[in-house]
């Protein structure tokens, strides 16, 4: 059920019609939206709604146990059980096939993967899932992280427990943000459940703006993908290096417009229903450094990792036991990804070497202590996206970029520079670095990555640049417009957003109809799923 499909808007219209009757009574409103959200997820992921219900019931129970007891040991135990259950389910659905395949490689066995959830579904729900394949529930990473934030926030005494399982279920599976974010933390949302409905005329106009803004982003992103970017990454041997470069920068724009388009629409839909979700993207390609980029990109995930992983591990102060446990997990993944037992010896020797260097050289020890958690967080962030060398390398490169920027700030002769030219150069350097790391994120295999770099190094085809630009003139025109709009100063964007929101309902409706009509002229086939549905 995509936000860009007519079926969804028919569904949402019916939801609003009934909502207009129940919205004034909090308990009824919550129960109604919970039912709507479960139906939405069922239409999106079918029988996997059972997994969502299990997560809700489990964490509601463990959260209640954490709240009831005053024993520090028991509170920690209940939280640990909640975390283990959530991560076990997440790892099963994201990494089970990978673990079996890795075991077969290392042990030279032929163990067949068996999907127990598929067998359960086939037995009790008469589905036809193949038991030797693993299907990923849509949005499992998002609702797992949201649910975890509740038990962790209760443990930290940052929130009070919800009044009922219906309230908790609503928090976890509120349909606008359920399948692709933004990731909602408990202390940012739970209190809104008990507030009376209130949406001003201006807020309604702003909600309409975010919805149509996100819709336009998604349509343009699909057009760029279908007509240029997907071709480049799916068949890199057919294209020159200059086309690769355009494709790489095009993909950066595409993934931003696709992902931020979804969250813009989610924020707008939630606001119409009376709930405020936090901004998930803040013009990330205006960033002048990798550090600033990660404060602007997928903010809900970045802040979740910072609050629930990076800081508990010790932040930039020192490595902790948790840091080294995380490193061990990452090392295990590397061994499994490679399928080579000799990598265990290599990693152990590397660890010993680093310990020796840290012992004899205080500066190296200090650098390891202050940067270890940053690298661990980015590597785990890469694995959050999937069990692949490509995601691990992508996370590692971004971690390296953050560390290099930290060191550069200490010695940079331009640290106090405020010149426009310098800022533009920093923006372009940051965009280039982020875009080229995405070669690993977007490519289907390491062989594809190798081909892309080979084409750029040996068949660049600079003499073809004007032919390429002319041949894809519509695509490149949209890319240029997209980047230029993105770089408009925020104060100017606020002017046209506020102007839109202050218009009459009729004017807003007319502008939406016009925008939808224009966007549908760009459609070249069936609507594409949002990119982050796969995570």
Helices (H), 225-240: 230-234
The pLDDT of residue 385 is: 86
The pLDDT of residue 94 is: 83
Is the pLDDT at 317 greater than 80? The verdict is no
Is the pLDDT at 527 greater than 70? The verdict is no
The pLDDT of residue 535 is: 67
Confidence category of residue 383, pLDDT binned at 50, 70, 90: confident
Contacts of 105 by beta carbon, 8 Å cutoff, 6+ apart: 339
Mean pLDDT to the nearest integer, 452-477: 92
Query: Is-contact 431 486, C-beta < 8 A?
Result: no
Contacts of 63 by beta carbon, 8 Å cutoff, 6+ apart: 82, 150, 151, 154, 161, 162, 168
Confidence category of residue 520, pLDDT binned at 50, 70, 90: confident
Mean pLDDT to the nearest integer, 130-156: 88
Higher pLDDT, 378 or 362: 378
Two tokens, residue 35? 């039912």
Catalytic residues: 385
Higher pLDDT, 375 or 527: 375
C-alpha 24, offset from chain centre = 33
Q: Which of 343-347, 375-379, 496-500 has the lowest mean pLDDT?
A: 343-347
Is the pLDDT at 192 greater than 90? The verdict is yes
Query: Is-contact 266 215, C-beta < 8 A?
Result: no
SS3 of 397, please? helix
Mean pLDDT to the nearest integer, 246-255: 96
Q: What is the 8-class DSSP label of residue 414?
A: T
Is the pLDDT at 530 greater than 80? The verdict is no
Is the pLDDT at 134 greater than 80? The verdict is no
Listing DSSP states for 200-239 in one string gives: -HHHHHHHHHHHHHHHHHHHHHHHHIIIIIHHHHH-GGGS
SS3 of 416, please? coil
Q: Hey, how many other C-beta atoms are within 10 angstroms of the C-beta on 478?
A: 21
Report how far residue 535's alpha carbon sits from residue 138's, in angstroms, rounded to the nearest whole number.
7
Report how far residue 47's alpha carbon sits from residue 470's, in angstroms, rounded to the nearest whole number.
48
Query: Is-contact 138 179, C-beta < 8 A?
Result: yes
Where b means 16+ CB within 10 Å and e means fewer, 325-340 reads ebbeebbebbbbbbee
Preceding amide of 182 cis, omega within 30: yes
Is the pLDDT at 524 greater than 70? The verdict is no
The pLDDT of residue 483 is: 96
* Most confident by average pLDDT, 88-97, 174-183, 263-272: 263-272
Contacts of 136 by beta carbon, 8 Å cutoff, 6+ apart: 93, 94, 534
Where b means 16+ CB within 10 Å and e means fewer, 11-27 reads bbeebeeebeebbeebe
The pLDDT of residue 200 is: 94
Burial (CB count within 10 angstroms: exposed 0-12, middle 13-18, buried 19+), residue 53? middle
The three-point CA angle 271-274-280 to 5° equals 35
Report how far residue 261's alpha carbon sits from residue 211's, in angstroms, rounded to the nearest whole number.
8
Q: Is the dihedral of CA 32, 36, 41, 42 positive or negative?
A: positive
Query: Is-contact 401 395, C-beta < 8 A?
Result: no
Of residues 356, 359, 354, 387, the one with CA closest to residue 372: 354
Is the pLDDT at 44 greater than 90? The verdict is no
The pLDDT of residue 150 is: 96
Two tokens, residue 167? 């309230």
Mean pLDDT to the nearest integer, 251-260: 95
Two tokens, residue 479? 């890319």
What is the average pLDDT score of the chain?
89
Higher pLDDT, 185 or 2: 185
The pLDDT of residue 100 is: 80
Is the pLDDT at 534 greater than 90? The verdict is no
The tens digit of pLDDT for each residue in 401-434 reads: 999 998 888 888 777 777 888 899 999 999 999 9
The tens digit of pLDDT for each residue in 97-110 reads: 777 877 777 777 77
Mean pLDDT to the nearest integer, 245-274: 95
C-alpha 281, offset from chain centre = 11
Q: Hey, how many other C-beta atoms are within 10 angstroms of the C-beta on 245?
A: 20
Contacts of 409 by beta carbon, 8 Å cutoff, 6+ apart: 415
Rounded to a whole number of angstroms, the distance between the first and last alpha carbons of the chain is: 16
Is the pLDDT at 115 greater than 90? The verdict is no
Mean pLDDT to the nearest integer, 348-363: 82
Confidence category of residue 25, pLDDT binned at 50, 70, 90: very high
Is the pLDDT at 35 greater than 70? The verdict is yes
Query: Is-contact 373 319, C-beta < 8 A?
Result: yes
The pLDDT of residue 186 is: 93
Mean pLDDT to the nearest integer, 445-452: 92
């Amino acid at each position: 059920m995509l936000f860009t499909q007519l079926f969804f808007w028919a569904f949402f219209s019916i939801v609003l019609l009934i909502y207009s009757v129940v919205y004034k009574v909090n308990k009824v409103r919550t129960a109604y939206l919970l039912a709507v959200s479960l139906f939405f997820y069922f239409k999106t992921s079918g029988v996997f709604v059972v997994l969502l219900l299990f997560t809700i019931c489990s964490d509601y129970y463990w959260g209640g146990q954490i709240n009831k007891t005053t024993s520090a040991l028991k509170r920690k135990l209940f939280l640990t059980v909640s975390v283990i259950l959530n991560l076990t389910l997440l790892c099963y659905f994201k990494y089970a096939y990978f673990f079996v395949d890795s075991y077969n490689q290392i042990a030279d066995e032929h163990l067949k993967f068996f999907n127990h959830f598929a067998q359960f579904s086939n037995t009790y729900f008469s589905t036809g899932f193949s038991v030797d394949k693993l299907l990923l529930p849509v949005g499992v990473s998002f609702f797992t992280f949201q649910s975890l934030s509740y038990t962790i926030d209760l443990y930290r005494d940052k929130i009070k427990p919800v009044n009922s399982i219906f309230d908790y279920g609503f928090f976890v599976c509120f349909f606008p943000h359920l399948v692709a974010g933004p990731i909602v933390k408990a202390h940012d949302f739970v209190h809104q459940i008990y507030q009376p409905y209130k949406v001003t005329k201006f807020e309604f106009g702003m909600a309409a703006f975010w919805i149509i803004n996100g819709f336009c982003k998604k349509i343009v992103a699909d057009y760029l993908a279908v007509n240029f970017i997907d071709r480049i990454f799916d068949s890199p041997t057919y294209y020159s290096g200059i086309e690769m470069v355009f494709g790489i920068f095009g993909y950066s724009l595409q993934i931003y417009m696709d992902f931020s388009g979804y969250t813009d629409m989610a924020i707008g839909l939630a606001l119409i229903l009376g709930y405020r979700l936090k901004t998930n993207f803040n013009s990330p390609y205006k960033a002048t450094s990798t550090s600033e980029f990660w404060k602007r990109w997928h903010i809900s995930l970045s802040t979740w990792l910072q609050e629930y992983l990076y800081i508990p591990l010790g932040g930039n102060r020192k490595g902790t036991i948790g840091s080294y446990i995380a490193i061990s997990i990452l090392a295990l993944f590397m061994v499994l990804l490679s399928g080579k037992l000799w990598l265990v010896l290599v990693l152990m020797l590397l660890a010993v070497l680093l310990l020796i260097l840290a012992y004899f050289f205080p500066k190296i020890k200090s650098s390891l202590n202050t940067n270890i958690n940053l690298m661990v967080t980015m590597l785990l962030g890469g694995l959050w996206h999937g069990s692949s060398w490509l995601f691990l390398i992508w996370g590692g490169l971004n971690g390296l970029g953050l560390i290099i920027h930290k060191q550069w700030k200490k010695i940079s002769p331009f640290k106090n520079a405020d010149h426009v030219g310098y800022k533009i150069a920093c923006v372009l350097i940051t965009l280039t670095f982020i875009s080229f790391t995405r070669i690993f994120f977007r490519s289907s295999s390491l062989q594809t990555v190798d081909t892309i770099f080979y084409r750029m190094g040996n068949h660049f085809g600079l003499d073809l640049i004007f032919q390429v630009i002319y041949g894809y003139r519509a695509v490149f025109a949209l890319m240029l417009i997209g980047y230029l709009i993105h770089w408009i100063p925020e104060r100017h964007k606020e002017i046209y957003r506020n102007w839109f929101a202050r218009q009459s309902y009729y004017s807003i409706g007319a502008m939406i109809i016009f925008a939808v009509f224009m966007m549908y002229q760009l459609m070249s086939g069936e609507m594409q799923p949002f990119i982050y549905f796969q995570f």
